[in-house]
Amino acid sequence: MAILKIARMGHPILRQVAQPVEDATSPEIRRLLADMVETMGDADGTGLAAPQVYAPLRVVVYFVTEARAGKDQAAVPLTSLINPIITPIGEEIAYDWEGCLSVPDMVGIVPRHTRIRLQAETPEGKPIDAMIEGFHARVLQHECDHLDGILYPQRMDDLSLLIFREELRHGVPEKAKRLLAPSA
């Protein structure tokens, strides 16, 4: 296993559309996944897509802690997905903070679909077909965007809410509070 270098916003690898993986169970993919998990842990991230470590392949790893999962949502253990495809279900959108290891020290308020269908393969080559909601759905949309060369600031509709995490000590912007308020 190895800790890999993480590409930062502006590097061309992060703008590429990643290639599908032909054999999810190959030793190369197993090694890549192990390195991605180690790199994500070292960088204290919650998700990592292969293009972020200079591997232009459709592979993501992530987890969701109980604290981030939110009310009525279960935590998600460390998960590896090969060739994930997500499809929005319904029109509902929610706003929440996101950060990204490729956009260090910053956070932004990003609109995402609240419900999605996930189709993917496991590292054992088994198919997944599931309905995903809430913060888990947000993490998947963020990670799958990386596979299409998209970073979260490109999904924002108000760039005044793209800020340095450290500056949150001065308080959360009023606009952000309004967007984060649960809709009645």
Q: Which residues are catalytic?
A: 143
Q: Which stretch binds Ni ion (CB under 5 A): 10-18, 76-84, 99-107, 126-134?
A: 99-107
C-alpha to C-alpha distance for 81 and 10, rounded to whole angstroms: 25
User: Is residue 59 involved in binding Ni ion (CB under 5 A)?
Assistant: no
Tell me whether residue 45 or residue 123 sits nearer to Ni ion (CB atom): 45
User: Is residue 100 involved in binding Ni ion (CB under 5 A)?
Assistant: yes
Q: Which two tokens stand for residue 132?
A: 């995903």
Tell me whether residue 50 or residue 171 sits nearer to Ni ion (CB atom): 50
How many residues bind Ni ion, per CB under 5 A? Answer: 1
Q: How many CB atoms lie within 10 A of CB 118?
A: 18
Q: Are 45 and 63 in contact (CB under 8 A)?
A: no
Tell me whether residue 12 or residue 171 sits nearer to Ni ion (CB atom): 12
User: Is residue 176 involved in binding Ni ion (CB under 5 A)?
Assistant: no
Smallest distance, Ni ion to C-beta of residue 151, A: 7
Q: Which stretch binds Ni ion (CB under 5 A): 18-26, 59-67, 76-84, 93-101?
A: 93-101
User: Is residue 53 involved in binding Ni ion (CB under 5 A)?
Assistant: no
Q: What is the dihedral of CA 83, 38, 4, 33, to 10 degrees?
A: -20
CA 14-19-35 angle, to 5 degrees, is 70
User: Is residue 132 involved in binding Ni ion (CB under 5 A)?
Assistant: no
Q: Could you tell me which residues are beta bridge partners of residue 80?
A: 61
Q: Considering only CA atoms, which of 98, 68, 95 is closest in space to residue 162?
A: 98
Interface positions with Ni ion (CB under 5 A): 100
